[in-house]
Structure 1
Amino acid sequence: MNDQRPDPDALLEAVRGNAEHSKRGQLKIFFGACAGVGKTFAMLQAARQAQAEGVRVGIGIVETHGRKETEALIDGFAILPRKTLPGNGRPVTEFDLDGALASDYKLLVVDELAHTNVAGSRHAKRWQDVEELLDAGVDVYTALNVQHLDSLNDIVGGIIGIRVRETVPDRIFDSATDVVLVDLPPDDLLARMNAGKVYLPVSIERARQNFFRRGNLIALRELALRRVADRVNADVRTYRVSHAIKTVWPTQELLMVCVSADRSQEKLVREAGRLAQRLQAKWIVVHVDQPYQNNDARSREALLAIAKTARSAGAEFANVPGQDITEAILDYARKRNATKLIIGNTARRRIFTFKRRLQERLARANPEIGLLLLSVDEVRANRRVRWIPEEPQTQIAALGIATLACGAATFLASQLVGFFDLSNVVMLFLVTTVFIALRLGRLAGAWASLLSVGCFDFFFVEPKLSFAVTDTQYIFTFALMLVVAVVISQLAARLRSEARVARAGERRASALARIARDLSSAIKIDQVVAICREALTPLFEARIILLVPDKNERLMPTEDPGLVDTSTAQWAFDHGQQAGLGTQTLSAAHALYLPLKASMAMRGVLAVVPVGAPLPDDPDDRRLLDACCSTIGLTLERIHFMEVAQETLVRMEGEKLRNALLSAVSHDLKTPLTAIRGLAETLEHRKELAVEDRSDLARSIRVQADELKRLVANLLDLARMQSEGVRLNKEWNSLSEIVGSAVLQSRAILEPRKVRTNLPADLPLIEADATLIERVLINLFDNAAKYTPRDSTINVRAGATADTMYLIVEDNGPGLPVRDPETLFEPFARGQKESSVAGVGLGLALCRSIITAHGGTIRAEQRKPNGAAFEIRLPLGTPPAIESEPIHDQAAHSDR
Structure 2
Amino acid sequence: MAEAGNEFERRPDPDALLALADREKRGKLRVFLGAAPGVGKTYAMLARARALAADGVDLVIGLVETHGRGETEALAEGLETLPRRKIDYRGRTLEEFDIDAALARHPALILVDELAHSNAPESRHPKRWQDVEELLDSGVDVWTALNIQHLESLADVVARITGVAVRETVPDRVLQDAAEVVLVDVTPDELLQRLNEGKVYVPDMARRAVQHFFTARNLTALRELALRRTAERVDDQMVDYLRQSAIEGPWATSERLLVCVGGDDLSEYVVRAGARLATGLNAPWIALHVERAGEEEQDAERLRRVDDALRLAKRLGADVERVVGHDLAGETLRFARRENITQIVVGRSHAGLLARLRRRSLTDEIVRRSDDIAVQVITESRANVAEGARPRRARSAHGEFWRGLGATLASVAFAILVAWPLDVWLRLPNLGMIFLASVVFCALAAGVWSAVAASILSFFAFDFFFVEPRYQFSISQAHEFLSLLVYTFVAIVTGSLAGRVREQSRAMRARAEAAQSLFEFSRELSSAASLDEVLWAAAVHAQKALDAKCVALLVPKDGELTISAAWPPIDRLDAKEEAAARWAYERGEPAGLRSGTLPNIRFEFRPLTTSRGVMAVIGLEPKAAPETPSAQSERMLTAILEQTAIAIDRSLLAGESVRVAALEESEKLRTTLLASLSHDLRTPLASITGAVTSLRQLGDRLADTDRLDLLASIEEEAARLSRFIVNLLDMSRIESGALAPRRELVDVGDAVRSAMERSRKEFPDLKVSASLAPDLPAIRGDAGLLGQIVFNLLDNAHKYGGGQASVYARRDGDDLLLTVTDEGLGVKPADLERIFEKFYRGGRVDGRKAGAGLGLSICRGLVEAMGGTVVAQSPAIRRKGTRIVLRFPIPPQPRRGAVA
Give the TM-score taking structure 2 as reference length.
0.66
| Partners of 1:815 and 1:868 within 8 A in 2 | yes
Residue equivalent to 1:807: 818
- Change in CA separation of 1:677 and 1:829 when aligned onto 2, cut-off 3 Å: same
| Contact residue 265 and residue 376 of structure 1 kept, 8 A | no
Letter in 1 for 2:378: L
Counterparts in 2 of 1:302 and 1:226: CA distance versus 1, 3 Å: farther
List per-residue Cα deviations over 1:837-875 (Å, max 9, x = no partner).
Answer: 141110010001111111211222222214332221111
Letter of the structure 1 residue corresponding to residue 431 of structure 2:
V
Q: Amino acid of the residue matched to residue 661 of structure 2? A: L
Within a 5 Å distance, the mapping from 1:836-875 to structure 2 comes to 837-861=849-873, 862-865=875-878, 866-875=880-889
Q: Which residue of 1 aligns with 2:637?
A: 625
Aligned length: 662
**Cα separation, 1, equivalents of 2:137 and 2:580:** 25
Name the aligned partner's letter for residue 739 of structure 1.
V
Provide the residue aligned with 1:95 in structure 2.
none
- Asked if residue 822 in structure 1 is aligned to residue 833 in structure 2, the reply is yes
Identical positions, percent = 30
The answer to whether residue 598 in structure 2 is matched with residue 595 in structure 1 is no
Which of these residues, 257, 275, 292, is aligned with residue 255 of structure 1?
A: 257
The residue identity in structure 2 corresponding to 1:222 is D
Matching of residue 509 in structure 1 with residue 515 in structure 2: yes
Structure 2 counterpart of 1:371, which letter?
Answer: V
User: Measured at CA, do residues 833 and 159 of structure 1 come closer, stay the same or move farther in structure 2, by a change above 3 Å?
Assistant: farther
In 2, Cα distance between the equivalents of 1:517 and 1:723?
38
CA–CA distance in structure 2, aligned partners of residues 522 and 663 of structure 1: 41
Distance 1:778 1:260, change over 3 A: same
Listed one character per residue, the Cα deviations across residues 787-840 of structure 1 (whole Å, up to 9, x for unaligned) are 345xx4432221013311111222333333665322211111113588751411
Contact 2:816–2:890 (CA<8 Å) still a contact in 1?
yes
SS state at 1:646 partner: helix
Aligned AA (1:508)? A
Deviations 1:7-36 (A, max 9, x none): xxxxxxxxxxxxxxxxxxxxx99959779x
Change (3 A) 1:155 1:563: closer
Quote the Cα distance in structure 1 between the aligned partners of 2:496 and 2:861: 80
After TM superposition, the structure 1 = structure 2 runs for residues 134-173 of structure 1, keeping only pairs within 5 Å, are none
For 1:321, the equivalent position in structure 2 comes to 324
Cα pair distance change 1:552/1:329, threshold 3 Å = farther
Q: Give 3-state SS (helix, strand or coil) of 1:537's partner.
A: helix
Contact (CA 8 Å) 1:730, 1:770: kept in 2 or not? no
| 1:681/1:843 CA distance change after superposition, 3 Å | same
- Give the Cα separation in 2 of the matches to 1:645 and 1:806: 40
Question: What does residue 285 of structure 1 align with?
Answer: 287
Q: What do you get for the CA RMSD once the two structures are aligned?
A: 4.0
- Find the aligned partners of 2:789 and 2:238 in 1 and give their Cα distance: 74
Aligned residue in 1 for 2:277: 275
How far apart are 1:433 and its partner, in Å? 1.4
- Residues 814 and 287 of structure 1: CA distance in aligned 2, closer, same or farther (over 3 Å): closer
**Is 1:331–2:334 an aligned residue pair?**
yes
- Of 630, 639, 644, the residue aligned with 2:656 is 644
After superposition, the Cα gap between the structure-2 partners of 1:34 and 1:698, relative to the gap in structure 1 and judged at 3 Å, is farther
Name the SS of the counterpart of 1:762 in structure 2: coil
Match of 2:800 in 1: 787
- 1: CA distance between counterparts of 2:633 and 2:415? 41
Amino acid corresponding to residue 510 of structure 2 in structure 1: A
Distance 2:379 2:262 in 1: 14
| 1:856-895 equivalent positions in 2, closer than 5 A | 856-861=868-873, 862-865=875-878, 866-880=880-894
Alignment of 1:44-193 (within 5 A): none
Report the equivalent of 1:774.
787
Match of 1:263, SS state, is: coil
Closer, same or farther: CA 477–752 of 1 in aligned 2, 3 Å: closer
Indicate yes or no: 2:572 matched with 1:562: yes
SS of 2:431's equivalent in the other structure is: helix
Judging changes above 3 Å, is the alpha-carbon distance between structure 1 residues 729 and 698 closer, same or farther for their aligned structure 2 residues? Answer: same
Distance 1:755 1:494 in 2: 93
Matched, 1:222 2:237: no
2:681 aligns to what SS in structure 1? helix
**Deviates most, 439-448 or 472-481:** 472-481
Q: Answer yes or no: is the 8 Å Cα contact 1:579–1:586 preserved in 2.
A: yes
DSSP-derived class of the 1:438 partner: helix
Residue identity in the other structure for 2:572:
G
1:301 aligned partner, one-letter code: R
Would you say the 8 A contact 1:32–1:224 is kept in 2?
Answer: no
- Matching residue of 1:538: 544
| Range 875-884 or range 512-521, more displaced | 875-884
- Give the residue type in structure 2 aligned to 1:332: F
| Maintained 8 Å contact 2:529/2:651 | yes
Aligned to 1:376: 380
2:835–2:843: 8 Å Cα contact kept in structure 1?
A: no
Note if contact 2:347-2:363 (Cα within 8 Å) is conserved in structure 1. Answer: no
Alpha carbons of structure 1 residues 849 and 220: separation in structure 2 relative to 1, 3 Å:
farther
| Shift in CA distance, 563/376, structure 1 to aligned 2, threshold 3 Å | farther
What's the secondary structure of 1:707's corresponding residue? Answer: helix
Paired AA for residue 659 in structure 1? T
Compute the displacement of 1:480 (Å). 5.2
List alignment gaps of at least 5 residues for structure 1.
1-27, 38-153, 162-217, 234-249, 886-896
Matches of 1:669 and 1:461 in 2, distance apart?
117
Which one of 460, 464, 470 corresponds to residue 458 of structure 1?
464
Find the residue that maps to 2:765 and give its secondary structure.
coil
SS of equivalent residue, structure 1 residue 428: helix
Q: What is the TM-score when the length of structure 1 is the normalising length? A: 0.66
Of 377, 391, 394, 2:399 maps to 391
1:545 and 1:351 mapped to 2: Cα distance? 48
Q: Structure 1 residue 636: deviation in Å?
A: 1.1
Letter in 2 for 1:754: K
C-alpha displacement of 1:769 = 0.5
Paired residue secondary structure (1:687):
helix
| 1:311 counterpart = 2:314 | yes
**2:267 & 2:14 partners in 1: Cα distance?**
42
Q: 1:752 to 1:321 in 2, by over 3 A?
A: closer
Looking at structure 2, the residues matched to 823 and 352 of structure 1 have their Cα atoms a distance apart, in angstroms, of 81
Structure 1 counterpart of 2:105: none
Distance in 2 (alpha carbons) for counterparts of 1:342 and 1:819: 75
SS of structure 2 residue aligned to 1:686: helix
Which whole-Å CA distance do the structure 1 matches of 2:238 and 2:863 have between them?
A: 70
Structure 1 distance, partners of 2:543, 2:863, is: 50
After superposing the two structures, state which structure 1 stretch, 697-706 or 332-341, moved more. 697-706
Could you tell me how far apart the structure 1 residues matched to 2:457 and 2:738 are?
Answer: 88
Distance in 2 between the 1:403 and 1:433 partners? Answer: 11
Cα distance in 2 for partners of 1:762, 1:352 equals 102
Q: Distance in 1 between matches of 2:394 and 2:851?
A: 93
Distance 1:771 1:391, change over 3 A: same
Distance 1:776 1:606 in 2: 55
- State the partner residue of 1:743: 756
Partner residue of 1:797?
808
Structure 1 residue 766: Cα displacement: 1.6
CA 642–219 in structure 1, closer or farther in 2 if over 3 Å, else same: farther
Q: Is the 8 A contact 2:551 2:618 kept in 1?
A: yes
Contact persistence 1:726–1:849 (CA under 8 A): no
Secondary structure at the counterpart of residue 587 of structure 1: coil
- Listed as ranges, the gaps of 5+ residues in structure 2 are 1-10, 21-134, 143-235, 383-389
SS at match of 1:828: coil
Instruction: Tell me if 1:417 matches 2:423.
Output: yes
